[in-house]
Structure 1
Amino acid sequence: MSPMSNASAMDPTELSPFVYWSQTKHTLLLKVDLKDAKGVIADFTPTTLSFSANGHGARGRNAYKFQLRFYEFIDDETATFTVTDHKIELMIRKVEPAWWVRLVATPQKPHWLRIDFDRWVSEDDGELNDPPRDVREDYVEEYSNLQKQEIGYVRENAKKVYLVIYNLAMFVGYLHILIIIGVLYLRDGTASIKHTYEYVGTSFKFVQLMQYMEVMHPIFGYSKGSPLVPFFQISGRNFVLFLMIEMEPRMHDKPVVCYVFIIWSLVELVRYPYYVSQLLKRESALLTWLRYTIWIPLYPMGIVCEGVILLRSIPYIEETKRFCVDMPNKWNSTFDMVLFLKVYLLLLALPGSYLVMSHMSKLRAKKLGRGRAKPKLN
């Protein structure tokens, strides 16, 4: 029997690198996972490939080799390989243009031979000049099963993994804040309200600053939409949190601070799980309904609480002249923070609240449909 009769007929003591393959109707592309490869030898025949090289692979720096008997004939005279710092790529043309059902002649493939999912196309995808298609979107279930068979688990896109982790972390952050507020209330009753900022103020400042990551997501293509919308929403909250509450110790024990923390946290406690469900394509009717309904009572309550905080801050700013700029100065200009807050209050109470509420109402009508019934819990 010829030593090449089996794709894996090799000395068991020899080391083989991981090899990833993909195809088009006319070509095969093999990617050998070896870094800093030296002494690369690739011998082709019309039906076989013998490869050897020294490089850094799965077993560290060693001598690696493998042999393949192809499923059909290849053009061994035009086969080429390219060596880079991180891999070796072999470009091979098929003698007869066709889609191969597998790479090797035998149904049992070597354990080190894998599918190159980043380059994989199917017969329906056409040639390189055709409009690009993504097999992961065309055949979601089949692609998932194929990944599980090849690597034992479903390999997710790095952006998707990051977004899931980010949203889960933010959910845990706001849940942590609500749990602390709840535990304090159960222990101390209404007396705990004035200590809310003392216990959760630092945590709330952290999660609110972390939300600026949502401004960066659309900039880097991690999410759709404009970065301006989350920027203004997050900055509006942080204006109240950092300038009106944090900078004025006399505001820390006001009950309205506790109320606004609870309202903001309840909104996020629904929003972030909803985003995770969308990323994982596991949409829940109840969660979707909550996402586009809970704002109806909470947004007006939040706007009222923010307005009360601004009103309560005005006397303190008048007294301390904090953030105010008086003449004379080197800029030859003035800034009256009290006047600014009064204008800001008018914008928040009238056009600001109308724009936010109408925007959410349109989203709710689009997502849930007008007159759609509330989902059942059971």
Structure 2
Amino acid sequence: MAASALSVVLKRVYLAVYNWTVFTGWSLALYLALKTLKETGYGHVYKSVEKPLQLAQSAAVLEEQILHSLVGLVRSPITATLPQILGRLYITWGILWSFPGQTQTHILVSTLVFSWSITEVVRYSFFGTKEALGFAPSWLLWLRYSTFFLLHPIGVTSEIGLIYIALPDIKESEKYSIKMPNKWNFSFYFFYAAIFTIGIFSIGSFFMFQHLCRQRNKALSKPKIV
């Protein structure tokens, strides 16, 4: 029993530290974006948030629905947010970092950063509070399951828009493409994959929104702790 209780405590401490650490990263990204937008304009937002954005988004590899669910730290199913996390990693590294030409200085970077960072600041503070205290206040619960009504459409629109803006650079550079002939007898064109991804994001956003609505109905129907 003692070993089991210690295991539970260690699990909660680890998850609390993890959630508050990632919360700090997203809070920094939000602060830097707001500060830069006010002082120098949207064209400089990406450069100001690049490192914290990359670190915070890449930390999703340890996300509770991926590694944590695989090793049994949480009960969340791995299929719940895996597409969203992979999509964000694609935007972070496959678009913004790989094709900086027209994307990094576009105003859509600002809307993207705001939608992502506000969503994650709320989400990680919610989970961090639950792990630290054993519960989350009702107002934080409401924020956790309500902000997506505005932030999800803004985020998806920004993601699709940035892919579209990057298309000319993707086509011209032929980066990440594999042409025939080669020893694998295989070809891959990142340009067409990007167009396909726009379609996937467009369709997937509808189903993700429905999933978020179901989550909200389930979460807010439970008794709340003030």
Q: TM-score over 0.5 for the alignment?
A: yes
Higher strand share: 1
CA drift of 1:310 comes to 0.8
Residue pair 1:212, 1:231 contacting (<8 A) in 2 also: no
Q: How far, CA to CA, are the matches of 2:90 and 2:214 in structure 1?
A: 27
Paired residue secondary structure (1:332): coil
2:168 aligns with 315
2:86 aligns with 235
Which of 52, 61, 65 is the matching residue for 1:212?
Answer: 61
1:369 aligns with 221
1:104 aligns with none
Q: Deviations over 1:310-354 (max 9, x none)?
A: 10111111111112221111111111222212221112112x012
Which of 48, 52, 74 is the matching residue for 1:203?
Answer: 52
Root-mean-square deviation (Å): 2.4
1:85 aligns with none
Which of 185, 193, 204 is the matching residue for 1:340?
Answer: 193
Q: How far, CA to CA, are the matches of 1:256 and 1:287 in structure 2?
A: 28
Q: Deviations over 1:99-153 (max 9, x none)?
A: xxxxxxxxxxxxxxxxxx717xxxxxxxxxxxxxx8x7xxxxxxxxxxxxxxxxx
Residue pair 1:260, 1:306 contacting (<8 A) in 2 also: yes
Residue pair 2:19, 2:124 contacting (<8 A) in 1 also: yes
Paired residue secondary structure (1:211): helix
Mapping 1:287-302, distance limit 5 Å: 287-302=140-155
CA drift of 1:281 comes to 1.9
Identical-pair percentage: 24
Mapping 1:150-229, distance limit 5 Å: 157-186=9-38, 188=39, 191-214=40-63, 215-229=66-80
Residue pair 1:168, 1:276 contacting (<8 A) in 2 also: yes
Q: How far, CA to CA, are the matches of 2:169 and 2:7 in structure 1?
A: 55
CA drift of 1:283 comes to 2.1
1:78 aligns with none
Gaps of 5+ in 1: 1-116, 120-133, 137-153
2:97 aligns with 246
Q: How far, CA to CA, are the matches of 2:77 and 2:8 in structure 1?
A: 25
Q: How far, CA to CA, are the matches of 1:252 and 1:305 in structure 2?
A: 12
Q: Which amino acid aligns with 1:257?
A: V
CA drift of 1:156 comes to 7.0
The higher relative CO (CA closer than 8 Å, separation ≥ 6) is in: 2
Structure (1 or 2) with the larger CA radius of gyration: 1
Gaps of 5+ in 2: none
Paired residue secondary structure (1:334): coil
- How many residue pairs match? The answer is 221
Higher helix share: 2
Paired residue secondary structure (2:181): coil
Residue pair 2:46, 2:104 contacting (<8 A) in 1 also: yes
